[in-house]
Amino acid sequence: MLPSRRRLGRADRNVNTGPRRIASARQGRHGLAACPHFAFPRFLPLLVLSLVGGQAADRYNRKYILIACVAGKALIAAALAAASLSHTSLIIPTVLTAAALSGAINAFLPPAASAFLPMLLPREELPQGIAWNSLAFQSGTIVGPAIGGLLYAFGPAAAYGATFALLAACVVLMLRIRAPAQAPVADARTIGLIIEGLKYVWSNKIVLGAISLDLIVVLLGGAVALLPVFARDILQVGPGELGVLRAAMGVGAAVVALWIAAAPLRRNVGRWMFGSTIVFGLATIVFGISTNLWITVIALAVAGGVDMISVYVRQSLIQLATPDAMRGRVSAVSFVFISASNELGDFESGVVARVIGPVSAVIVGGALAVGASTLWMRFFPQLRRADGFEALPSPAQEAKIIERAVVETRPAIDAK
C-alpha cells in the first residue's frame, strides 16, 4: 500500500489546482479566459516540451524534478496572489503568462511523477499503489474546485494564497520521501534518449495499444465540453445542477478507484480494459439520449467509473511493461497522448456539435468509441490477451530490452 504521506502529497498537489483554476477563470471571465483558446498557452509548451521532460526524468533525479516543478507552481501561485492584491490592469496577461509557465512545468512533472511511483513500491504492489494514486487524484479534482469556489468569495488572492500554502506543504512532504537510486541511462544524448523512448513505445504492442486506445476513445467519446449546453438546452437546469453534472464523473471514478485499491484486478486485465472502453462509449450514448437529470448523472458516473478502470489497467501495464530506465520517456509519450486527446476531444465535440447538434454529436461520438474499441481488439491482440500484471517483463529482462533499443537507435543517431 502507498505510504500515507505519499498519498497525502498526491492529494495535496491535486487539491491545490482547484482554487487556482477557479480564481484564474473568474478573473478572466470578461476577457481572454472566457474564450476556449485560453487553454492554448498552457497546452502549447506542454506539447513541445513533454518529450524533453520525459528524457529528463530518465536522466536526472526524479524526486528533485518533482520538487522543483511543485516549487515552481508555488511561485506562480504567489505571483498571481501578488498581482491580484495590486489590482493591476494587466491581470489577463498575467494569468496567460502563468498558464504558459504552468504548461511548461507540466511537461516535466507528470513524466517524473509517473516514473517515480514504481521506485517507491515493490513490483507486486505497484497496481494497488496506482489505484491509491488515482484515488488521491480524483479526490483532489472533486474537492479542489469546491474549495476554490468557497475561497473566491474572499477574493482571488485568497484562492491563490491557499494554492501556495498547499503546494509548499506538498514540497515538504516530498522532501521526506526516501527512494532508491534509479536505473542509469545508456545514452547521454538528449535526441538519442527521445528516439529510444519512441522506438520502445512503437515496438511494444501492449504499451502502444494501451496508449493509443485511450487517445482514440477520449477523442471520439469525450463530451465533457458540452455539459453546459446540455444543462441549459437539453436538461434545462441551472448552475447548481450543472455542478452536479460536472462532479458526477469524478465521483464515479473515485468510487471505482477505492474499490480497485481495496481489491486490485489480477486476471483478464486486457479484457477489463477493452470492456471498460466499450461501456464508456455506451454510457456516453445514454448521456446523449437522456433528457432526465438523474439518468444523465448516473450515465456520467458510470462513464467516470469505467474510465478509471481503463486508466488503472493502462497505467499498470505501461509501468510494469516498461524498464525503469525508460519509464520517464514512455510516461511522457502517454501524457502527450492524454493531453492531446483531452484538448482535441473538446475541440472536436464543439465542432461536431455545431454541425449536427449537441445530442447527435454525443451519440455519434459514443458509438464511434465503441467501434474503435472493437477495432483495437483486433489491431492489438497482445493487449486483449493480457491476463495478469505479473506476466509482464521482469526486472531481469529489462536490461535486454534497453540494450536492444540502444543498438537499434544508435546507427540512426550516428548518421546524423
pLDDT in tens, 382-415: 889 888 776 565 544 554 554 555 455 455 445 5
pLDDT at site 89? 62
Contacts of 69 (CB under 8 A, 6+ apart): 105, 106, 108, 109, 112
pLDDT at site 3? 47
Contacts of 394 (CB under 8 A, 6+ apart): 123
pLDDT at site 256? 92
1-182 matches 186-416 in fold: yes
pLDDT at site 205? 87
- The Cα 160–Cα 141 span in angstroms is 16
Number of neighbouring beta carbons within 10 Å of residue 250? 22
- The Cα 349–Cα 258 span in angstroms is 30
Q: What residue ranges of the chain have pLDDT lower than 70?
A: 1-40, 88-91, 185-190, 390-416
Q: Which CATH superfamily is domain 186-416 in?
A: MFS general substrate transporter like domains (1.20.1250.20)
pLDDT at site 200? 86
pLDDT in tens, 339-378: 877 777 777 788 888 889 999 999 999 999 999 999 999 9
Give CATH for domain 1-182: 1.20.1250.20
pLDDT at site 5? 43
Domain spans, the chain: 1-182, 186-416
Is residue 395 packed enough to be buried (19+ CB in 10 Å), middle (13-18) or exposed (0-12)? Answer: exposed
What's the pTM?
0.77
